[in-house]
Structure 1
Amino acid sequence: MIETPGVLLTVLAFALVIGPLVFIHEMGHYLAGRWFGVKAEAFSIGFGREIAGWTDKRGTRWKIAWLPLGGYVRFAGDMNPASQPTAEWLALPAEERRQTFQAKPVWQRAIIVAAGPFVNFVLAILILAAFALAYGDARTPSVVGQAIPGTAAATAGLRAGDRVTALGGREMTTFEDMVRFVKIRAGERVRVDYVRGGTPATVEAVIGTQEQRDRFGNVYRVGLLGIAPAAPVIEPVGVLEAPVVAVQRTGDIVGMMVETIGQIISGRRSVKELGGPLSIAKVSGEQITLGADAFVFLIALVSINLGFINLLPVPMLDGGHLLFYAIEAVRRKPVAPEAVEWAYRGGLVAVLALMLLVTFNDLGNFGLWRQLAGLIG
């Protein structure tokens, strides 16, 4: 039975995911800036017209805007998107100029910019560490419990008791490693290295494609090798080990994201699989109906996504700033303002184009284009 959350619950869930994550991200920038003595003029959750706010004793305007799809911290001296010194900045009194973002050395500016994505990763690690403490860590060995008939594993001749040591040249130590590798490689031919009776062997296999439908009616195409695990192993995790497990899981998730992007760039995966805010809202509504655990885990995933995306070396994103700071550190002088301006214009166009693409995909996934085609036909 398909259980679809209502619009109000979906909107509420989306706000509960995006609002706190944006706040935490921007708070990372704010706290790092404050640590280095940079004055923050405004701290906004959302874009557009302010609907509520107040000014603190340091002169920072804290506000909530009507479009809750992001947020920002505006530091003193941010007179253009690239935070470049301008004639207006040079005209400031010396005391005010010392409190501006541009007045700080490049390493401090880099830390301030990197602090936003950093706290997103920290939040995700804390959540995943709590899950590890509560539920333990899955460490089922990469041993074939059964090669399911009719699947790639059976066709390749794998048998119960074989220990898979590598897939596509990548080392596999647990069954979970295999699942993560296979899941995003539907239809790909891979080399399977395994050990049978103490003897190493190698075989080629074409990963199958399986369509999975969840309780909400969403259909997913995932890779399937066809290996059933041996007896599952869930090991308890202590307080000191939990952060280590969480960092490893965060690394696994980031690795899958990098590989997925690479597959899209290389054409092995369709750009139609890219989703945007509407998809996040839809999934948020669905996960909140599954309970607190599912919803909190989604928050961790979105937090990792937010941190990762912001570190991409695209002008307008934090990663774009960090790229220019790296160049400045090497050259020992800032990049020419004209070059930065053109780069940021290009970055803005790229970000807007991506937003249009993912919104188009989201509306297609919601069936809007099929409905319009039916009306026209």
Structure 2
Amino acid sequence: MNQMTNPAATSVAVKDLRLAYGSLTILDDLSLDIGEGEFIVLLGPSGCGKSTLLNCIAGLLDITDGQIWIKGRNVTWEEPKDRGIGMVFQSYALYPQMTVRGNLAFGLKNAGLPRGEIDKRIARAAEILQIQPLLDRKPAALSGGQRQRVAIGRALVRDVDVFLFDEPLSNLDAKLRSELRVEIKRLHQQLRNTMIYVTHDQIEALTLADRIAVMRGGIIQQLADPKTIYNKPANLFVAGFIGSPAMTFLKGQIGERDGVRTFEAGGSTIALDQYRGEVPARGTAVILGVRPEHVAAGHVAAGHGAAGHGAAGHGAAGHGATGAGGAAAKVEIDEPMGSDSLLWLRFAGQALSARAPAEHGFKAGDAVSLGFDISKASLFDTETEQRL
């Protein structure tokens, strides 16, 4: 995990956290530093431990070992209400008998704040979230997106330093999720509070986060900014989890031709001279990971046949395949996606996907030549599954 700094220098610091139930360990020796005003997304599949980690930070779960610091203060054994956090859950959890104003005011009244301060905080939250016209409505009269805005507002009125979001958009349809992603991003840019956001949706993670912690089995697999996560995934799991459509994985081995290391699979050869990483010794079994947008498909040049070179050596991707076998592939499925198409290909006996312009002119059964932008590809060790 990432190295810890002085807890007082961070907004939220998780140090050597362990959570176990008897012999079952959920989180083990997990450490995480979150900077002041940073937007961190905990991303991973169901059961990876992301919501569990968030609940430990919130104080909703008692940890087995380790420490949790918030704003330079050790809050490991403090109650949730004393940690200086505001939490937004997947469920809106609004009081149906109360108006929006009543829901926003409820926690503040229980805390004993004067009426003037309560009104001031509600007015500020309503303005930020654009829910002023809804203040006198009850939850039953609100849409799902409006209810989630109210739930966010309930955390916002607490005037805390750290906001925790536990999959707040998962109950909404795709259009509302897209709209509220923008709202949450705008909210963070306006407030600059520290935000920790749990999701299994990679699009949410890539669009919202300053840094993403990709989790699996209670372990942070990679912690980095979205561009690094996408372009230089630390291992096969991260590479396969991030990206839609997903990265293609091709099994093969390292070869060499004219002094240049190559990737060889099923009689096809791809030059690796532009690879931005370590290329292992000749004969090493590797996995080549390449995203669809980094594969250029071209029509096979007349007279070259199915094994023609065409775009393979000089295609739009800029860095292609060479060799006696060329880089030929066959179109199996054309999947239109609006602005472009996703071509599902058979290459070197393996499945490969490539993006193509919407008016590409390919059809199922066509032979195509390929070009690979190897500078944006990834090589993985077949045993450790780590990126080389």
Give the TM-score normalised by the residue count of structure 2.
0.19
- Which structure has more strand as a fraction of its residues? 2
Give the TM-score normalised by the residue count of structure 1.
0.19
| Structure of greater relative contact order (alpha carbons < 8 Å, 6+ residues apart) | 1
